[in-house]
Amino acid sequence: MKTKFFSLTIMILVLAVGSGRCQNQNNNIVIGTIDTVHSSILNENRAIWIHVPGSAQNNIYSPTRYPVIYLLDGDAHFDYVVGMMHQLSQINGNTICPEMIVVGIPNTDRTRDLTPTHMNPNARFDSNFVRTSGGGEKFISFIEKELIPHIDSLYPTASYRMLIGHSFGGLMVVYTLLNHSNLFNSYLAIDPSLWWDDQAILKQAQKNLDTEDLNGKRLYLAMANTLPNNEDTSQIRTDTSLAKSHPVSILEFTDLLKDKSKNGLFSDWKYYDQDNHGSVPLIATYDALHFFFNFYKLPSFAVLSDSLTNTDSVLTAYSEKLSKNMGYKILPQESLVNGLAYNFLANKMLSKALSLFEMNIRNYPNSFNVYDSIGDYYSAISNKEKAIKYYEKALALREYPATREKLEKLKATK
């Protein structure tokens, strides 16, 4: 099926994918929906905010499955995470990261769910604040045993999962990495509250981070500028009055990440000296997506279109790299290959076009579109017999008005 395409000099590598936003009957711009999950573990109903990429609604190409972001404090961070992912996965030809489903988890009792240990009242936090603290393990159990199965049963998910958390949420990200590392592939801890409960989780990390098998896992840690009295990071390490403070706790955790060879964890961190605790999530998420998916960027259009390049081999190698890093089989995207093939056809690069049309048939033999598209190829080179054959094959899989019209026109002039 011929969709919108551009001249050969323009990057077209997210060809005809749907927008992540839609306009409803009330003229509202919608980026997600609200789902509800009843949790027997937490004994409550949980509202869940869901964003599914717009390309999932495309009825031309084969269905796609998407990696999933699980977002703690979802009501605070949902909008910009969806926008960031959308921008970096498709706008202006970006392939910095894949399109992803975003699952935002709004809070009911934040202190309960996002603290892994119970803390006793102290001079800073009274009994009312800490009363329900320490429910983090139950909360992670809810995510693992109830939320993830619910999402997988209703939405087109792939097996790759990311966990994002800020502040207390960042604390839970680190806790989950240490105690449930197989639950997610990548972990983003934004200015995590590792000071909590006399640094309980930091102490756990000191004991077992090096012995945990974290092979293939990725962690990005962001530290905001919460340093007192304009001190720098080296000064606060030696200030005994700040020994168990928020910034010192984070710095001590980064020390543990320096030797990555023992446990296989691929990690990085950054100190954002221009951002405070409240402003850091936006830029940290941007940097983390680049870090997590540093393997994802598609080869340049100049490389793919070069006359000396075997384009289908390059795309196959690229998809194999993605499969290795994402942990599940990824084929060259049908819409991408389709769009490239039409561009090559329009620019009389016939062997390249045919090679890609045939690649799509091999990879997506049950898609009506791949047969319609190669029918267009043969129609363009005036091979009516083969064009009719492939249009009929497409219609055998799915009745589609545009394909029927092309077939009837060819038969009428045969």
Lowest-pLDDT choice from 53-62, 134-143, 196-205: 53-62
Spell out the domains of the chain, with CATH numbers in brackets: 22-292 (3.40.50.1820), 301-413 (1.25.40.10)
- What's the burial of 59, exposed, middle or buried (CB within 10 Å: 0-12/13-18/19+)? exposed
pLDDT at 126: 85
CA 226 – CA 146 distance, rounded (Å): 36
Cβ–Cβ under 8 Å, residues 38 and 130: no
Confidence band for 8, pLDDT divided at 50, 70 and 90:
very low
Confidence band for 194, pLDDT divided at 50, 70 and 90:
very high
Please give the average per-residue pLDDT across 150-167, as a whole number: 98
pLDDT at 242: 75
Q: Are strands 186-190 and 33-39 parallel, antiparallel or unpaired?
A: unpaired
For 130, residues 6+ apart whose C-beta sits below 8 A from its C-beta are 111, 118, 119, 120, 121
CA 30 – CA 9 distance, rounded (Å): 33
pLDDT at 260: 57
pLDDT digits (tens, 9 = 90+) for 325-352: 999 999 999 999 999 999 999 999 999 9
Please give the average per-residue pLDDT across 163-192, as a whole number: 98
Q: For the chain, what percent of residues have pLDDT higher than 90?
A: 77
Q: For the chain, what percent of residues have pLDDT higher than 70?
A: 93
pLDDT at 261: 58
Question: Does residue 230 have a pLDDT over 80?
Answer: no
List of E strands, 261-368 = 266-272
For 412, residues 6+ apart whose C-beta sits below 8 A from its C-beta are none
Cβ–Cβ under 8 Å, residues 84 and 176: no
Question: Does residue 15 have a pLDDT over 80?
Answer: no
How does 274-285 read in b/e, with b if 16+ C-beta sit within 10 Å? ebebeebbebbb
For 238, residues 6+ apart whose C-beta sits below 8 A from its C-beta are none
Please give the average per-residue pLDDT across 19-29, as a whole number: 65
Question: Does residue 19 have a pLDDT over 70?
Answer: no
pLDDT at 14: 34
pLDDT at 394: 95
Lowest-pLDDT choice from 53-62, 168-177, 309-318: 53-62
Please give the average per-residue pLDDT across 346-365, as a whole number: 96
How does 131-168 read in b/e, with b if 16+ C-beta sit within 10 Å? eebbbbebbbbbbbebbbebbeeebebbebbbbbbbbb
pTM here is: 0.92
pLDDT at 350: 95
pLDDT digits (tens, 9 = 90+) for 248-287: 999 999 999 986 556 889 999 999 999 999 999 999 999 9
pLDDT at 11: 36
Tell which wins on pLDDT, 230 or 339: 339
Question: Does residue 25 have a pLDDT over 80?
Answer: no
> Bridge-partner residues for 220, per DSSP?
188, 268
pLDDT at 371: 97
Question: Does residue 12 have a pLDDT over 50?
Answer: no
Residue type, 353: A
Confidence band for 237, pLDDT divided at 50, 70 and 90:
confident
Question: Does residue 193 have a pLDDT over 80?
Answer: yes
Q: Which helix (H) or strand (E) holds 40?
A: none
For 77, residues 6+ apart whose C-beta sits below 8 A from its C-beta are 71, 104, 164, 166, 281, 285
